[in-house]
Amino acid sequence: MTSHPPSSCCTRGFKHEGTATGEIKTIDNIETYFAYPPNKASPDRAILFITDVLGIYPNAQFLADDLAARGYLVAMPDLFRGDALTISQFENQEVDFPTWLGKHTPETMDPIIERLIKYLREEKGVKKLGAVGYCYGVKFVCRFLKEGKIDVGYGAHPSFVTPEELAGITGPLSISAA
């Protein structure tokens, strides 16, 4: 494996204060948080935001809003379909991580990402698509960093990325390892 499984730093954190400025839309039965650039302009550049195991609420929304403020449309799907983990579950040792992970495999998550890429490119007219992934999300940035899918990727603190996934990328990738 080219990255380690999540470590204890993945299970600590706190809820940031503030109000998210984007909106949740349903795309093919998948709740997706959309953050818009100033004046809700329709840019031809977008970012697919692939979260860590904590999902799309609320801290990730603030990060998506910040990226959008810089001129990008940001789309962040609920890849876990309402089954994201919480900090309190980790703190209270209520997480059976192997079982949870077994429900959220590439076989269940790849089709969601595939559909959202198609939506952004075909229905929103996105010409340049970047992706940002955190922890487990980096795995999926690598899986889709291919011609016609994602053009450029960034990953922070990757986990569960295989050598084959990393070898299969065809675009630029920046990784910040913890």
pLDDT score recorded for residue 2: 63
All structural domains of the chain with their residue ranges:
8-176
Please, what sign has the CA dihedral across residues 149, 155, 159, 163?
positive
SS3 19: coil
Name residue 73's beta-bridge partners: 46
DSSP string, 151-177: SEEEEES--S--HHHHHT--S-EEEE-
pLDDT-derived band of residue 1, with 50, 70 and 90 as boundaries?
Answer: very low
Name which residue leads in pLDDT, 7 or 54: 54
Residue 15 predicted with pLDDT over 70: no
- Give backbone dihedrals phi and psi of 86, rounded to 5 degrees, phi first: -125, 155
d(C-alpha 142, C-alpha 167), whole Å: 9
Mean of pLDDT values over 69-85: 96
Tokens representing 166 are 């990393």
Q: Where are the beta strands (DSSP E) in the chain?
A: 23-27, 30-35, 45-50, 73-77, 128-134, 152-156, 173-176
pLDDT score recorded for residue 4: 58
Tens of pLDDT, residue by residue over 29-71, are 999 999 999 987 777 999 999 999 999 989 999 999 999 999 9
In the block, which residue shows the tokens 């603030």? 62
pLDDT score recorded for residue 88: 85
Tens of pLDDT, residue by residue over 134-174, are 999 999 999 999 999 999 999 999 999 999 999 999 999 99
Instruction: Label the pairing between strands 30-35 and 45-50.
Output: unpaired
Residue 78 predicted with pLDDT over 80: yes
In this structure, whether the domain defined by 8-176 belongs to CATH 3.50.50.60 is answered with no
pLDDT score recorded for residue 3: 62
Rounded mean pLDDT of the chain? 91
Based on its alpha-carbon atoms, the radius of gyration of the chain, rounded to whole angstroms, reads 15
d(C-alpha 125, C-alpha 50), whole Å: 20
Tens of pLDDT, residue by residue over 105-119, are 999 999 999 999 999
Mean of pLDDT values over 68-80: 97
Give which of 115, 88, 110, 104 is closest to 32, Cα–Cα: 115
- Structural contact between residues 72 and 22, judged by C-beta atoms closer than 8 angstroms: no
pLDDT score recorded for residue 29: 94
pLDDT score recorded for residue 18: 84
